[in-house]
């Protein structure tokens, strides 16, 4: 069960930072290949981002799925908007769509 406090706290997190990655582990010590890939893409692009380790909080791990109506981790948010998980981010990176989106939102990428 996901309560409104958890959802409000998630909303606060995604609205407090331009780029937020909900992941398993941390950028330095990712705990899953899918999370690792997305954090490496962002690092490679020189994008500053806030990361949330869902393994530290079961409420967030389950709550983020309800918040976005997306069943898995990782989850990338840009300016409060859910962008996607590993497959989507990988594809958007390869096509240049991710760079275009970040440019469009005024987020600096190298
Ligand atoms: N195809 C997914 C891969 C991510 C995925 O399958 N995540 C699983 C395993 S890490 C997950 O979050 N399962 C639910 C959970 O662990 O809470 C994507 O594009 O992001
Ligand atoms: S933790 Fe096993 S696939 Fe992500």
Q: Whose CA is nearest to atom 3 of ligand 2?
A: 32
Q: What is the pTM of this model?
A: 0.98
Q: Whose CA is nearest to atom 8 of ligand 1?
A: 72
1 — pLDDT class (breaks 50, 70, 90): confident
The DSSP annotation for 1-39 comes to ---HHHHHHHHHHHHHSSEEEEESB-SSSBSSHHHHHHH
DSSP character at residue 55: G
Cα–Cα distances (Å) from 76 to 1, 71, in that order, read: 23, 13
- Model confidence at 109: pLDDT above 90: no
- Model confidence at 5: pLDDT above 80: yes
All structural domains of the chain, each given as residue ranges with its CATH number in brackets, are 4-104 (3.40.30.10)
Q: Is 66 in the pocket of ligand 2 (CB under 6 A)?
A: no
Residue 31 CA, closest ligand 2 atom number: 1
Q: Is the ipTM of this complex over 0.85?
A: yes
β-bridge partners, 84: 76
Give the residue carrying structure tokens 């020189």.
46
């Amino acid at each position: 069960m996901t309560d409104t406090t958890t959802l409000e706290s998630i909303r606060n997190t995604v609205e407090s930072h331009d780029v937020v990655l909900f992941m398993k582990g941390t950028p330095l010590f990712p705990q899953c290949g899918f999370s690792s890939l997305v954090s490496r893409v962002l690092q490679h692009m020189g994008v500053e981002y806030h990361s949330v380790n869902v393994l530290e909080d079961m409420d967030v791990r389950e709550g983020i799925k309800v918040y976005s109506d997306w069943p898995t981790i990782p989850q990338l948010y840009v300016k409060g908007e859910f962008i996607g998980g590993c497959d989507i981010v990988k594809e958007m990176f390869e096509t240049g769509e991710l760079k275009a989106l970040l440019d469009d939102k005024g987020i600096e990428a190298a």
